[in-house]
Every structure is written in structure tokens, then in C-alpha cells.
Amino acid sequence: MINSSEVKYIPAFLRPEEIENDAWALILSGKQLLLWQTENQLRIPKIKELKDNISINEDMMYIGRYDGFACYCKKADELQTLTEKLKAVELRDITAKTGDSGLFMLAGTANHLLHWNSTNQYCGCCGNKTADKIDERAKVCPKCGNTVYPRISPATITAVFNKDQILLAHNKNFKRNLYSLIAGYVEPGETLEQCVEREIREEVGIKVKNIKYFGSQPWPFPDSLMMAFTAEYESGQIEVDDFEITDASWYHADNLPEIPNTDSVAGKMIRWYRDQFNEMSN
């Protein structure tokens, strides 16, 4: 299941009056994050550790506290390996390299908020420059009052079971020969369950039943919230849409193809299924 007990990040928008000495600095560039190599650990740099290498300024966005310390983030144009101690690490490698999956999600949250900040500099109603709202995380237009909150786009992801087999599909956008669960964005006017049914019908042509909630996970690339479900196969033959999904099949737990890592809810769910199957067969 999805573990929520190790919550290290506490979101906040109200900027402390002064930047604390031990505050973290999340510097992102594209799909990379800057990390600091200590003797025995790779971790987020402290602002004080970056002062000689990166311009730290009041424009950095405060996003709350991580592991007890204030967290500030900003985008940099380009991250090079600046010193022996400063490393530019791909976001997808953060968990493996630091052993801290919370840090991967924190970098994602910074990515989500920085993306929202940079795409809402002007009012969508009147075109005036927006300002940060002082009493909540929002942008407000001083001219017409239009208020814009960080957008969160809901999406469903579903593990479909056919007796002891799981449905896994290859999406044409996957870089490697990876197989995962069926996912898609919720349409306006749709319930989550309707979204699950529609996405599965559209992408692989089958009908499902007994849709049950499993858990949720933010997927801030740039702004999704994944809501995970399980469902049972009801009827139909697998027929891929060839638009998003290029291949899909039923797989046994002991013969899985390459699957996503445990940073994603898909990776967690497929392993949950595999572990349950292994327990049952022992």
C-alpha cells in the first residue's frame, strides 16, 4: 500500500521574515536537481552552502519545511557540476542516489509550484501583471481581482485483474520497454469511477467492474494528482488504441515485464500485486 507515515514535508506559503541559516535550497533546471555531496551522504544543499556558487535571492519561493528546516526553491537556466560537492542529478535518479524517496517528491512539489508561478505571471482575464496574494498560495490580478490557485489536475490509474493476472500496457511515450497500468486525466463532468471505465475502454477496449479506491499520489510533472484504483476484468478482448497504448497483455506475477520504479504509484501497485501473489503461493 501507499505509505504515508514518513511525511517529512509540511507545505506552507507564508514566508519567514528572514532566511534561516539552515534552510534548504532546491535548485531545479529542466529535469535536474542540484545536490550536495557530503562525506557519507548526497542531500539537498543548504542555502549557506550555495552562496558562492549560485545567486541566492529574495525571489526564491518558500514552499514550507522539510525534515524540520525551511525550504526555498528556484529554477536555474543550466545546472553544471559546479564543484566537487555540487552535483546535478536527474529527478528520476534522486531516490536511488540519496535513499530518500521523500526528496524526489519534494523536488516534484518545487517543480509543480515553480511551473505554476512561471505560467501565471499575467492575468488570463485582462492581461495585467499578477501579484502574489498575501494570505494564501495564490496569484491575484490587482486590476480585475482574478485569483489563480496552483492548478492540480486529477488523473486515475488502475490495476486491472483477470483472476491471478494483471493488465500491463506499453505507452508510446515510455522511453524504455516499460510496461505499466492504464492511466488518464479526469474529464470535466466525470466521476473518478467513470474516468477509470472510460480510460480502460478507450485505451485497451475492455470493460471492468468492482472499481475500488487504492490510494493517491501527487505526480507534479507538472501538476497531476494520481488517484489509484483496482478493478476486475468483466468482458471484451484487449484491443490497444495504437494512439497512446501500443501493446497490452495480461501478466502473471512471476513473469512481469520491466515495470516502473517505486517512486510512482504504478510501480508501488504492481509490486503490491506481485507480493500478494507470492504470499498466496507460499
Interface contacts to Zn ion, rule CB under 5 A:
123, 125-126, 128, 141, 143-144, 146
Cβ 133 to Zn ion shortest distance, Å: 13
Cβ 112 to Zn ion shortest distance, Å: 23
The residues, ordered by sequence, that sit 6+ positions from 53 with a Cβ below 8 Å of its Cβ are 82, 83, 86
Cell, residue 216 = 493517491
Cβ 255 to Zn ion shortest distance, Å: 57
Burial class (CB within 10 angstroms; exposed 0-12, middle 13-18, buried 19+) of 193: middle
Which residue's CB is nearer to Zn ion, number 142 or number 236?
142
Query: Which of 97, 96, 101, 114 lies closest to 25 in space, CA to CA?
Result: 114
Cβ 202 to Zn ion shortest distance, Å: 37
- The CA distance from 27 to 122, in Å, is 24
Exposure string of 96-128, with b = 16+ CB inside 10 Å and e = fewer, is: eebebbbbbbbbbbbbbbbbbbeebeebeeeee
Cβ 122 to Zn ion shortest distance, Å: 8
Which residue's CB is nearer to Zn ion, number 14 or number 126?
126
Which residue's CB is nearer to Zn ion, number 147 or number 278?
147
Which residue's CB is nearer to Zn ion, number 130 or number 180?
130
- The CA distance from 34 to 48, in Å, is 14
Which residue's CB is nearer to Zn ion, number 125 or number 131?
125
